[in-house]
Amino acid sequence: MQRRQFLVSASAAASQAWAGANDRVRVAIIGVGSRGSAHIRELLPVANLEIAALVDPDGNRTEAASSVIFQKTGKRPRLESDMRRVFDDKNIDAVTIATTNHWHTLTAIWAMQAGKDAFVEKPVSHNIFEGIKLVETARKYNRISAGGTQRRWWGRWRKAVELMHAGVIGDIYQSNFIFPGGRDSIGFKETKEPPSWLNWDLWLGPAQQQPYHENLVHYNWHWFWDFGNGELGNNGIHLIDVCRWAMKRGLPSRIQCTGGRFGYKDQAQTPNTQNVTWVYEDGAMIVGQLRGLYTQEPMGWDFWGTKGHLNMKANGEFTIRLGRSKTNEPAVESPANIDHFANFAEAIRARDRKLLHAEIEETATSTAMCHLGNIAYRTGGDVRFDPKAMKFIGNKEADALISRKYRAPYIVPEKV
């Protein structure tokens, strides 16, 4: 029996354990590195939610994370290196996914096929094809799925977007963002045998077989195309998502990208500097700058409309100027932040994806913006895209990067 068929059969028998246990939601955290550790901290205070299992191919990580949970709760979660064992457990209601980027989509698909709801860290896919399949899976299996673009839950951003949607600065024709990454050289690491504590086959997953080196495990995989999406997919996704959210935009029709890896030579493949412009059919645009070297400009956003300008800082504080005024409009009070995992649990109990502030389709669309920028960078700097067909126009080289060659049995299926 194929894996997908088995999981579908399992989902038919699975029940929501929390329904008979005071609405308790039992969660497995898949990937317990820096983001997975953050999931632990953020999930522990959520009422009627239990961290029931931890999964990571690095056994050292699961042991350390388990100790943290035990100190807080007096209970030790189940530990696994292979996520598929957790998907077979009908007592697990949901998963949060904080793996390497190239595992995000397949993990979520397997989980949802097995009847689990899924919170997927950004970027929710490694390529455009995966994002399409991720949303298809959520819809087919009626799963509650959210993406990790957390600013959609945060009060200052929600208030700024609310005002822009109400027309405070008019029709928005351009938004800009800047992200100063501050990244140094990662140097060169020689290939060697994987350490005994790491399941290298599971870590590679959908990627092609290749030698282990220490610039992959555990963080610098971000800068290799087989596993990560560069800074654009790592942090740029958050800024792109806010721009697209405020402008009420989908995918663009033209993407231009310039950049490179400046200042040093090292083992990494992705650029440390990118300037990206996403252009829509009516000429409106989003412009992003990502800088890995030296800059005095802080992270932030600018929105220009037909009535004025809104500037937003990294902490969400924003100012508005209308017309040609040199004076800011009076400040407005913002609502409190919403706990994103409490919101995820609320939507699970209600079986209502409309309650989510970052439903998976929204984050998948913003993630696709990152992929479009990276594809433009890798194929000459200027591409045309058909958002309806989800294909590039007259560019076979760019089309080839919409998906990837998968390694059995870790294959994102055409038919979910």
Cα–Cα distances in angstroms (integers) from residue 48 to residues 26, 97, 284, in the given order? 9, 20, 45
Q: Is 299 within a domain?
A: yes
Residues whose CB is less than 8 angstroms from the CB of residue 206 and which lie 6 or more positions away in sequence, other chains included: 102, 103, 106, 126, 404, 406, 407, 410, 411, 412
Q: What is the pTM of this model?
A: 0.94
pLDDT at position 1: 36
Q: In whole angstroms, how large is the CA radius of gyration of the chain?
A: 21
Beta-sheet strand order (sheet of 300-305): 318-322, 308-313, 300-305, 172-180, 285-291, 273-279, 254-260, 382-386, 391-392
In angstroms, the first-to-last Cα distance of the chain is: 15
Q: Please give the average per-residue pLDDT across 118-136, as a whole number.
A: 98
CB 306 within 8 A of CB 283: no
Q: What is the pLDDT of residues 249-279, one digit of tens each?
A: 999 999 999 999 999 999 999 999 999 999 9
* Domains in the chain, number: 2
User: Are 85 and 169 in the same domain?
Assistant: no
Range of the domain at 177: 155-186+213-336+366-399
Q: Is 228 within a domain?
A: yes
User: Are 240 and 318 in the same domain?
Assistant: yes
User: Are 86 and 166 in the same domain?
Assistant: no
CATH number at 263 reads 3.30.360.10
> Which ranges of 122-233 would DSSP assign to H, the alpha helix?
128-140, 155-165, 200-204, 230-231
13 has pLDDT over 80: no
The whole-angstrom separation of Cα 51 and Cα 128 is 31
User: Are 179 and 271 in the same domain?
Assistant: yes
pLDDT at position 225: 98
For residue 58, the cross-strand partners are 198
Confidence of residue 22 (pLDDT cuts 50, 70, 90): low
User: Are 130 and 23 in the same domain?
Assistant: yes
20 has pLDDT over 70: no
Q: Is 219 within a domain?
A: yes
Q: Is 353 within a domain?
A: yes
User: Are 372 and 350 in the same domain?
Assistant: no
Taking the CA atoms of 370, 372, 378 and 380 in sequence, report the sign of the dihedral they define. negative
CB 308 within 8 A of CB 323: yes
Q: Please give the average per-residue pLDDT across 334-351, as a whole number.
A: 98
Q: What is the pLDDT of residues 151-169, one digit of tens each?
A: 999 999 999 999 999 999 9
Percent of the chain with pLDDT over 90: 94
User: Are 353 and 300 in the same domain?
Assistant: no
Q: Is 252 within a domain?
A: yes
Cα–Cα distances in angstroms (integers) from residue 319 to residues 214, 241, 396, in the given order? 44, 19, 44
User: Are 304 and 326 in the same domain?
Assistant: yes
User: Are 134 and 237 in the same domain?
Assistant: no
The whole-angstrom separation of Cα 26 and Cα 409 is 28
Please count the other Cβ atoms lying within 10 Å of the Cβ belonging to residue 224: 21
Residues whose CB is less than 8 angstroms from the CB of residue 415 and which lie 6 or more positions away in sequence, other chains included: none
User: Are 17 and 63 in the same domain?
Assistant: yes
Q: Is 136 within a domain?
A: yes
User: Are 125 and 171 in the same domain?
Assistant: no
CATH number at 18 reads 3.40.50.720
The whole-angstrom separation of Cα 344 and Cα 352 is 10
142 has pLDDT over 90: yes
CB 61 within 8 A of CB 81: no
Closest CA relative to residue 46, chosen from 18, 16, 65, 15: 18
Q: Is 378 within a domain?
A: yes
Confidence of residue 9 (pLDDT cuts 50, 70, 90): very low
Tokens at 14, concatenated: 């699975």
Please count the other Cβ atoms lying within 10 Å of the Cβ belonging to residue 249: 18
Q: What is the pLDDT of residues 367-397, one digit of tens each?
A: 999 999 999 999 999 999 999 999 999 999 9
Q: Is 194 within a domain?
A: no
User: Are 265 and 351 in the same domain?
Assistant: no
